[in-house]
Structure 1
Amino acid sequence: MIAGQLAFLTETVDEPLENYHDTQRALHVESAVSYLDDELTVQRGTVGGRVPKEEENVSMDGHMIEIERDTRIRTVASEWIADVTGGGWIVADRTHAPRKRDEHLEVDWPFTEFVKRTGVEIKATVLSPAEFVRNQRDADRDYTIEMASREFNGDDVSIQWGQGAMKKDAIKSDVGVALTTLWNGEFVRLVVYGSGYFAIWEPADWSIETFARFVDEEIVPIAWVPETEEEEETEQGTLETERVEA
């Protein structure tokens, strides 16, 4: 299985990623291959670093239960696949909240490490499960739905599984969808979540160049960077100013 969270570079870089390590973090490039008729380069590797983890310590003081929360720093690792020179994307199989000194980068670890290595901003994405399904339908592909989930009334989530998961439900899914679709001559079984996470269950033996092509053709078109509250306020202020001037 190949799975992870998708993030976009705000701009591509001229050179591929290189190996790097110091006493607290490391970036290892395991392989790099060309894809899409040798026009683009995709890399694969692992990244290690240190992230915070909040722990609860429960103790008794007489008849009183006391709970103390303590933040500890732990060492973690994540596998990644990325095209930073052409496609401008990174998929990391594990993410964590960053350390305080990296919070200004406004993205989770390990994307914080890629910001430092590339020198450009990196933004986490969200995905549209419904659009993914519609794209399969519009391409007249053979596909079947295994799970469709959507949010309604603001807080409630409905999930349909197996035979109860209909295509008409999947084309409205905003939380997640699992399906099998015929892509490039082979059946691909995967799950796509609105949070930005996706996983390829089958085929299990995909090369990274095939995975990169799938990301470019099928995942990137349904991904976007959500606006922050500050950006939404700025946009709203601009619209109000334009109305006043008009």
Structure 2
Amino acid sequence: MRRLTVLSRAIAGMLLLASGARAQEKAGKTVWDGVYTADQAKRGGAVFARRCISCHSTGFERTGFVERWREDRLSGFFSFISAYMPRDNPGGATQSEYLDIAAYIMSNNDLPAGAQELTYEELTNIQVQRKDGPAPLPDGSLVRVVGCLTQASDNSWTLTRASAPAQTRSRESSSGLERKVSEAQPFGTNTFPLAYINAFMPDAHKGHKVEAKGDLDRMPDGDRIRLSALQTVAPNCPE
């Protein structure tokens, strides 16, 4: 009986550890969790020297990578460099080379290396944020927000159940990895009035889960977004 009790406790402990590991994996990672390897960063340095050094001579060493890309997934940064860099041949590197370059830039910004290489599949699961956690974005930031498009009784439009603003580098509606992030984005607790929305045919998106992009206005009576793009990412907003 005693042996069975000890065995039962051991099994329960292993199940608890496994459950905790699954919960941590589901919660996602941040750039502080060692999401690339030192060897990958070394390869990225060689690719950077060959493809990027003519425009970026500093190698982005301690250039504020986290501040420039925080409150977004690492997929946003990857999508930007793979679409627009290098300037003389945008998109000219391979997917693995862009991943290695991302590792190199993180290494140059003192983000720790880990045991697993950065992969394309993991990009949407990795959050860019400060070491001490998320922080509000400053006034005027170009942001991406996901929520429910709602029309008020005075015919104004707001984004309700909205996520926290995430930085973006594109004023256009997301595609590829960034759109996948918006589609999977959980609803939040924020509400944002939307300025300049009539240019985006809001009636076609009413009641839908939408992605809004634009400039974030921090105002005394509440924040708003000056729209630059609006698209539906799910046909409804379930309760």
User: TM-score w.r.t. structure 2 length?
Assistant: 0.28
More helix by share: 2
More strand by share: 1
